[in-house]
Amino acid sequence: MKRRIFGLETEYGVWGSQEGPRRLSPDEVARYLFRKIVDWGRSSNIFLENGARLYLDVGSHPEYATPECLSVRDLVAHDKAGELRLENLRQGTEQLLLEEGAGGKVILYKNNTDSAGNSYGCHENYLAERRDNFEGYTRILIPFLITRQIFSGAGKVLKTPRGSRYCLSQRAEHIWESISSATTRSRPIINTRDEPHADSEHYRRLHVIVGDSNMSEYATFLKVATCSMVLQMLEESRYLRDMTLDNPIRAIRDISSDPTCQIKVPLASGKEVSALQMQWDFFEMVTEYITRGSPTDEEKLALSMWEHCLNGLSNDPLSLAAECDWVAKYKVIEGYQQRHQVSLDSAVITEIDMKYHALGKDGIFNRLQSRGVMKRLCNDNEIASSMNRPPKTRAYPRSRFIMAAKARNRDYNVDWVHLKLNDQAQQTILLKDPFAWQDDRVDRLIAML
């Protein structure tokens, strides 16, 4: 796999129960979550010991952005470390509420829609070469991202005026454009805001905002690894056939509404093709491209997992309950329906739909994983260590600076590219290379603390 920086930004849903004197609003719950770690008079945006970013986004959504990662497997571990971080905050919030006599239970959801139909995101970031190849995005990358939901979707019971139906993706119904610089006003598949957090002469940041938040490590890995390989082919203009969809927004919804993965959508050429067939086409192109070189272990693993999923989807989509979130959730809901004779419109089904994504031991996914039902890529120790261990990227000097400044009780500011001491000299270091994990300037600054 081409040397690349990866990152995930995940917004979490917030809910507070009415076990105390009154039900807390999402804004109040969010402020309780951050109370012990944020100076509200200053900022609700902090960088953590592992180089990650934790902040409160619009709509009272806690958001965890992983540090810059060099491998997809490391990205999965750091994404899961974010879940642990938020779960620790949740438990601390419940204890704080108890101490203050407010009481109540707090739930955090790693999903993309709330019960009112509002959507919040899981954004993927890929460091890409500085090319304005948007025509290639339309022909290749947009069709890939629309059709990969057959293995990366998180699953959703969608309420409609004609009754509820099960969909593959939570984000599909909330996407309105293929490419745009907006993120909330008209949510696109790819956000083109030019904010590389790196040397802008050489790099841009591909910001993909169409994907679902995955609980499954397997699905997260496959979602990112396959996209990176397709992006690499696009950058090198190799082995690519025109896959332009006639109507991308209609296609993403139609594909999401079909758990059989057999529905066909029209291409701009007039041909009709299913998402499954298009993914097989991408798999064959990527396999030919990757195997002509010297595949890395991560590339070999990604190709093996991709083929396994496409074979499962071709033969019986419901055979992938150990790998794909949408299938695992579907099986849980289907089992409950058969036992209790309830429809998808039932309130208890809505609760199950949400609870699949809940953090902590009460979350349905976490219960499945604790029973060994879900396939994994990382172990618990690896994930726990990622809460404090930065990758060997720009996150490493950021982490060292943060820990040193905290140990010496020094006031500082940090963002993705800056390290700053808030002293009389206002010493600031600009880190433009996201691959650089060693920096003499940072060593000298730390020595001066």
CATH code for the domain in which residue 127 is found: 3.30.590
What are the residue ranges of helices labelled H in 8-148? Answer: 26-34, 72-99, 134-136, 142-147
Which of 154, 204, 141, 149 is closest to 356 using CA atoms? 154
Is the CB of residue 88 less than 8 Å from the CB of residue 410? no
Angstrom CA distances, 299 to 78, 143, 302, 368, 416, stand at 19, 21, 5, 28, 28
What residues are paired with 15 via a beta bridge?
A: 107
pLDDT at 214: 98
Which of 99, 107, 83, 88 is closest to 24 using CA atoms? 107
Asked whether residue 1 is domain-assigned, the answer is no
* pLDDT at residue 38 is higher than 70: no
Q: Are residues 422 and 355 in the same domain?
A: no
pLDDT at 239: 64
Asked whether residue 296 is domain-assigned, the answer is yes
Q: How many Å apart are CA 126 and CA 196, to the nearest integer?
A: 10
Which of 220, 219, 206, 227 is closest to 79 using CA atoms? 220
Show the domain range for 91: 6-385
Is the CB of residue 314 less than 8 Å from the CB of residue 294? no
**pLDDT band at 198; cut points 50, 70, 90:** very high
Identity (one letter) of the amino acid at 109?
Y
Is the CB of residue 12 less than 8 Å from the CB of residue 40? no
pLDDT in tens, 132-190: 566 778 899 999 999 999 999 999 999 999 999 999 999 999 999 998 876 656 689 99
Identity (one letter) of the amino acid at 192?
T
Q: Are residues 63 and 103 in the same domain?
A: yes
Count of domains forming the chain: 2
Q: Which two tokens stand for residue 105?
A: 């239970």
Instruction: Supply the pTM of this predicted model.
Output: 0.95
pLDDT at 98: 86
Which of 92, 342, 231 is closest to 333 using CA atoms? 342
Provide φ and ψ at 412, rounded to 5°. -150, 165
pLDDT at 40: 45
**pLDDT band at 193; cut points 50, 70, 90:** confident
Q: Are residues 311 and 424 in the same domain?
A: no
Q: How many Å apart are CA 421 and CA 413, to the nearest integer?
A: 7
Q: Are residues 433 and 358 in the same domain?
A: no
pLDDT over 90, % of the chain: 78
Q: Which two tokens stand for residue 182?
A: 């907006």
Residues recorded for the chain: 449
pLDDT at 41: 44
pLDDT in tens, 40-85: 445 568 999 999 999 988 778 999 999 999 999 999 999 999 999 9
Catalytically active residues are 57
Q: Are residues 409 and 355 in the same domain?
A: no
Q: Which two tokens stand for residue 249?
A: 């927004």
Q: How many Å apart are CA 15 and CA 109, to the nearest integer?
A: 8
Q: Are residues 135 and 160 in the same domain?
A: yes
Provide φ and ψ at 234, rounded to 5°. -65, -40
Q: How many Å apart are CA 1 and CA 409, to the nearest integer?
A: 41
* pLDDT at residue 18 is higher than 70: no
Is the CB of residue 147 less than 8 Å from the CB of residue 263? no
- Structural domain ending residue among the three candidates 331, 358, 385: 385
Which of 242, 291, 68, 4 is closest to 139 using CA atoms? 242
Asked whether residue 59 is domain-assigned, the answer is yes
Q: Which two tokens stand for residue 373?
A: 């039902």
Q: How far does the chain reach from its first CA to its final CA, in angstroms?
A: 39
- Structural domain ending residue among the three candidates 332, 355, 385: 385
Q: How many Å apart are CA 22 and CA 104, to the nearest integer?
A: 9
Q: Are residues 216 and 345 in the same domain?
A: yes
Q: Are residues 129 and 262 in the same domain?
A: yes
- Which residue carries 């971080």 as its tokens? 85
Q: Are residues 410 and 364 in the same domain?
A: no
**pLDDT band at 340; cut points 50, 70, 90:** very high
The most confident of the ranges 73-77, 105-109, 424-428 is 73-77
Q: How many Å apart are CA 352 and CA 366, to the nearest integer?
A: 13
Q: Which two tokens stand for residue 372?
A: 């060994």
Is the CB of residue 46 less than 8 Å from the CB of residue 53? yes
Q: Are residues 404 and 337 in the same domain?
A: no
Asked whether residue 390 is domain-assigned, the answer is no
Q: Which two tokens stand for residue 391?
A: 């990758």
Average pLDDT over residues 298-316: 98
